[in-house]
Structure 1
Amino acid sequence: MDASYTEGEHTAVCGKRQQFGSRFLSDPARVFHHNAWDSVEWSEEQAAAAERKVQENSTQRVCQEKQVDYEINANKYWNDFYKIHENGFFKDRHWLFTEFPELAPSQNQNHLKALLSENKGSEVPACRSSEDGSGLIIEAQHSCSSVSLGRKTQPPPVEENVTQKLRHLEICADEFPGSSATYRILEVGCGVGNTVFPILQTNNDPRLFVYCCDFSSTAVELVQTNSAYDPSRCFAFVHDLCDEDKSYPVPGDSLDVIILIFVLSAIIPDKMQNAINRLSRLLKPGGMMLLRDYGRYDMAQLRFKKGQCLSENFYVRGDGTRVYFFTQDELDALFTTAGLEKVQNLVDRRLQVNRGKQLTMYRVWIQCKYRKPLLSSTS
Structure 2
Amino acid sequence: MEDTISNTEKRPQFGNRLLENAEEVFKHNAWDNVQWDEEQEKAAKEKVQLNSQTTFTEDTLKDLDTNADKHWDSFYDIHQNRFFKDRHWLFTEFPELAPDNTSAPLRVYPNNDETVKSIKPEVGNQASNVKRYIFEIGCGVGNTIFPILQYSRDPNLFIYGCDFSTKAIEIIRENELYDTSRCCVFVLDATKSEWDVPFEKDSLDIIVLIFVLSAIDPTKMKLVIDNIYRYLKPGGLVVFRDYGRYDLAQLRFKKGRCISDNFYARGDKTKVYFFTQEEVSSLFKEAGFLEEQNLVDRRLQVNRGKMLTMYRVWIQGKYRKPL
TM-based fold match above 0.5: yes
Aligned CA RMSD, in angstroms, stands at 1.8
Aligned partner of 2:72 in structure 1 is 78
- Between the aligned partners of 1:240 and 1:109, the Cα distance in structure 2 is 33
Moved more, 297-306 or 92-101: 92-101
Q: Which protein is bigger by CA-based radius of gyration? A: 1
CA shift digits 1:295-334 (9 cap, x unpaired): 0000000000000000000000000000000000100111
Q: Percent identity?
A: 59
Aligned partner of 1:200 in structure 2 is 149
Deviation of residue 64 (structure 1)?
1.4
SS at match of 2:300: strand
Deviation of residue 357 (structure 1)?
1.2
- 8 Å Cα contact 1:17-1:95 kept in structure 2: no
Which AA in structure 2 matches 1:194?
Answer: N
- Between the aligned partners of 1:245 and 1:283, the Cα distance in structure 2 is 15
Gaps of 5+ in 1: 1-12, 112-179, 375-379
Aligned partner of 1:6 in structure 2 is none
Aligned partner of 1:352 in structure 2 is 301
Q: Does 1:292 align with 2:241?
A: yes
Aligned partner of 1:228 in structure 2 is 177
- 8 Å Cα contact 1:185-1:256 kept in structure 2: yes
SS at match of 1:192: coil
Q: Which residue among 235, 241, 250 is the counterpart of 2:190?
A: 241
- Between the aligned partners of 1:206 and 1:301, the Cα distance in structure 2 is 41
Q: Does 1:304 align with 2:250?
A: no
Residues 1-379 of structure 1 aligned to structure 2 (within 5 Å): 17=13, 21-106=15-100, 107-108=121-122, 110=124, 182-374=131-323
- 8 Å Cα contact 2:29-2:301 kept in structure 1: yes
- Between the aligned partners of 2:148 and 2:122, the Cα distance in structure 1 is 14
Going from structure 1 to structure 2, the CA distance change for 1:35 and 1:235 (only over 3 Å counts) comes to same
- Between the aligned partners of 1:92 and 1:62, the Cα distance in structure 2 is 34
- 8 Å Cα contact 1:181-1:209 kept in structure 2: no
Structure with bigger helix share is: 1
CA shift digits 1:93-138 (9 cap, x unpaired): 2311111011015454649xxxxxxxxxxxxxxxxxxxxxxxxxxx
- 8 Å Cα contact 2:88-2:147 kept in structure 1: no
- Between the aligned partners of 2:197 and 2:10, the Cα distance in structure 1 is 39
SS at match of 2:254: coil
- Between the aligned partners of 1:222 and 1:183, the Cα distance in structure 2 is 25
Deviation of residue 246 (structure 1)?
3.4
- Between the aligned partners of 1:259 and 1:74, the Cα distance in structure 2 is 22
SS at match of 2:175: coil
Deviation of residue 17 (structure 1)?
4.1
- Between the aligned partners of 1:242 and 1:358, the Cα distance in structure 2 is 42
- 8 Å Cα contact 1:109-1:183 kept in structure 2: no
SS at match of 2:19: coil
Aligned partner of 1:175 in structure 2 is none
Structure with bigger strand share is: 2
Deviation of residue 57 (structure 1)?
0.5
**Corresponding residue pairs, total:** 292
Gaps of 5+ in 2: 1-8, 101-120
Going from structure 1 to structure 2, the CA distance change for 1:16 and 1:50 (only over 3 Å counts) comes to closer
- Between the aligned partners of 2:82 and 2:255, the Cα distance in structure 1 is 31
